[in-house]
Amino acid sequence: MDIEIPDDLIEIHDPEVDPAQIIERIRERVRKRREELGYEQRTFPTFGVTSYPGEPDDIPYDYDLYYHLRLANEVYIQVETDAVLAPSPATRIPIVGRLWQLVRGEVHNLVLFYVNRVIAHQTDVNRHLIGVLNRLTRLSQEQQRTIASLEAEVEALRRQVEGQA
């Protein structure tokens, strides 16, 4: 995996210094250092969320599968984490009530900070899972089409063999 260093990372206003040349030296040193350390070059596949494949119109399909897959595609990113503070009689007490309201609000914000971190991670996991499900569903559709085609071909060959006998 190469480190992507933008060419405009360094801005130098000296005509005798070439930032592009400096960046190229850095890239070359990184390559050499990785070779010295026996760095194993890995390439990771790119995989984004593939869109909902839609119900096929040329092959039979499971209605429940597509219904739930469509819903999963629609809701996986919908998360609500707004602070909801129910009214409290303690906030009506003079001086102490205002202090309690401030403390209560800040405690809720602290909890939401950590909840939002977890939700961000879970949403990312959900995005990948939905992408995998969409991709597997498309693969299943292709396989069903291939199976239907092969079944038709086998049936035609069967008729041809029976006609010759």
What is the tens place of the pLDDT at every residue in 75-133?
A: 888 888 787 888 888 888 888 888 888 888 899 999 999 999 999 899 888 988 998 99
Query: Could you give the CA distance from residue 53 to residue 136 in angstroms, rounded to a whole number?
Result: 10
Q: Does any domain span residue 74?
A: yes
Residue 4 has pLDDT above 90, yes or no: no
Q: Average pLDDT, stretch 17-40?
A: 83
When divided into structural domains, the chain yields a total of: 2
Print the domain residue range for 36. Answer: 1-44
Residue 149 has pLDDT above 90, yes or no: yes
Within this chain, do residues 158 and 83 fall inside the same structural domain, yes or no?
yes
Q: Does any domain span residue 53?
A: no
Least confident of 4-13, 22-31, 108-117, 128-137: 4-13
Within this chain, do residues 124 and 71 fall inside the same structural domain, yes or no?
yes
Within this chain, do residues 77 and 31 fall inside the same structural domain, yes or no?
no
User: Distance between alpha carbon 59 and the CA centroid of its chain, in Å?
Assistant: 29
User: Distance between alpha carbon 90 and the CA centroid of its chain, in Å?
Assistant: 44
pTM: 0.57
Within this chain, do residues 39 and 68 fall inside the same structural domain, yes or no?
no
Q: Between these two residues, 49 and 68, which has the higher pLDDT value?
A: 68
